[in-house]
Amino acid sequence: MMKRPGHHLVMCDVSGFTCWDDEVLERWDGAIVHKDFWEERHPQDFVRGVKDDQSVSPVNPEPTDILIADAYPNGVTGDDL
C-alpha cells in the first residue's frame, strides 16, 4: 500500500483486511470495521419488557352448606315413613 501522510493502517475486525484509518468506523459493539461492514444497532436491542401483573383475582367465599331433607322416590319424604 502507498504511504499516506497523517494516516495509519488498521485491520478490519470483520473482514480481516487492512485499510486506512479514515476508511474505518467503530461499530456499536466496539468492533473497528471498514465502512462497508458497518451496521447500525438493531432497534429491538432497546426494547424493554413491560411488567405483567399476574396476581389472582379475589376468590369467591366458600358457599354455606344447605341442608336438604331426605328425599325418596315418588315424592315420599322421611316424615311419611
Classify residue 59: in a domain, yes or no: no
Q: Is residue 81 predicted with pLDDT exceeding 70? A: no
Instruction: Give the domain extent around 33.
Output: 1-39
Number of domains within the chain: 1
Q: What is the pLDDT of residue 1?
A: 63
Interacting residues of 9 by C-beta distance below 8 A, sequence separation 6+: 1, 18, 19, 20, 21
Q: What is the pTM of this model?
A: 0.53
Give the separation between CA 20 and CA 11, rounded to whole angstroms: 8
Q: State whether residue 58 is helix, strand or coil.
A: coil
Q: What cell numbers appear for 19 in the block?
A: 485499510
